[in-house]
Amino acid sequence: MSAVQLHNLRKVHENGFVALDGVTLDIADGEFFVLLGPSGCGKTTVLRMVAGVDSPTHGDVRFDGVSVVEVPSRDRNVSMVFQNYALYPTMTVRENIGFSLRVGKVKKSTAASSVNDIAAAFELTELLDRLPSQLSGGERQRVAMARAMLREPNVFLMDEPLANLDASLREKVRSEVSRLQRRVGVTMLYVTHDQVEAMSMGDRVALFEDGKIVQVGSPLELYEAPRNRFVAEFLGTHAINMFRATVIEQDDKLSVLIGSQCLALGRNANRFSNLWAFVGREVLCGLRPESIGRGGAGVLDVSIEFVEQLGHELLVSANLISEACGDGSTPSIRASLPIGTHVPRWEAISFSVDTERIHLFDVETGESLANLH
Ligand code: ATP
């Protein structure tokens, strides 16, 4: 297993396009590290450089502190699984999975039991004697992952490996990959654009935008303390509510005014650096649907528009009973409420807001106003 260090990686393509710009990361030995971001932000480019199938224009890739930029891909002992990973078409599932062990000349009986163990973990036991052409896309993908995991590489690279699986299988394989990675202790760099995968699998996550890292941290850090608006909007199962609001002062206390409704910040104002300087100014106020409740203090008055029954929760869309916000938008809001909550359509009710979980951002830069140290 290896720790992986990326130092100031820059990649400029022949047409002048800058795919990566100043990417620096320190990934610990045995860490499950997720590279997250929208399509085209440079995630795969990072993996290709760690694998050695592409080289940086500038910067360094190190395994355990030693530069591997000049080391050919085949000598790096990395294992890579892509979204569409090719299997050997004339080999059975058993032979495909065991291929690397055969090449490595492991004892036959040891190899057979390793193949059986990993096949069981990925629910492939019944399929061991089939050819790839006799498998579904999802089954082929699981064979590819089982084969890659059996190789025991220094570093494991996965690029959207679950994208072709259906929802229920994706959930299952997601936990299987996490479990196996922890058991084997291999360093994992895992690329996805799916924030649920990042939140549920990663020890740490780096969120990318336009070839740059926006924030690195544990999934919960990114979710609870987003550095800017982009991070806040990228993470979360339901999109964060984002309002234009004005910071106001009443009786020596700070509040935010959304439309004509006031949210008192109380001692939570201390979570933000120098918020007094924003009095009378516009900010962006982010409220996650899951930090809005029914009853309690009841700080935002809304009229219910419609309710989505999601089985485990109610996703409620409502309009703030208010004048328009600073940008003239209708202040609508979504809340995630427990099943069974009484939410009469079109009626006016009060949503309580967990003010400890309010996010505030600079309107111009999108940077968080919270103390993030
Ligand atoms: P996705 O999730 O869609 O796979 P990604 O974040 O993995 O996206 P990359 O594959 O790393 O993105 O590509 C980063 C950017 O570099 C993309 O905008 C892509 O179009 C661009 N790119 C990749 N290869 C080349 C090339 N040879 N020449 C010019 N631009 C390229």
In the reported structure, the alpha carbon of residue 44 is separated from the centroid of ligand 1 by a whole-number distance in angstroms of: 7
Backbone angles phi, psi at 365, to 5 degrees: -95, -20
* Alpha helical stretches, state H, the chain: 43-51, 93-103, 108-121, 137-150, 167-184, 195-201, 219-224, 229-234
Fill in the amino acid letter for 234: F
Q: Which residues line ligand 1 (CB under 6 A)?
A: 13, 15, 17, 19, 37, 39-45, 193
Q: What is the reported pLDDT for 26?
A: 97
Q: Any idea what DSSP says for residue 92?
A: -
Question: What is the tens place of the pLDDT at every residue in 213-236?
Answer: 999 999 999 999 999 999 999 999
How far apart are alpha carbons 311 and 74 in whole angstroms? 49
Report which ligand 1 atom has the smallest distance to the Cα of 41.
Answer: 6
Question: What is the tens place of the pLDDT at every residue in 105-136?
Answer: 667 777 788 899 888 888 899 999 999 999 98
Hey, which of 6, 12, 41, 192 would you mutate to test ligand 1's pocket, going by the most ligand atoms within 8 Å of its Cβ? 41
* Interstrand relation of 187-192 and 241-250 (parallel, antiparallel or unpaired): unpaired
Tokens of 150: 């059996």
Fill in the amino acid letter for 168: S
In the reported structure, the alpha carbon of residue 214 is separated from the centroid of ligand 1 by a whole-number distance in angstroms of: 17
- Residue ranges for the chain with pLDDT beneath 50: 296, 298
In the reported structure, the alpha carbon of residue 193 is separated from the centroid of ligand 1 by a whole-number distance in angstroms of: 13
Report which ligand 1 atom has the smallest distance to the Cα of 45.
Answer: 11
Question: What is the tens place of the pLDDT at every residue in 152-163?
Answer: 788 999 998 888
Report which ligand 1 atom has the smallest distance to the Cα of 47.
Answer: 11
User: What Å distances lie between residue 180 and 142, 150, 372, CA to CA?
Assistant: 13, 10, 34
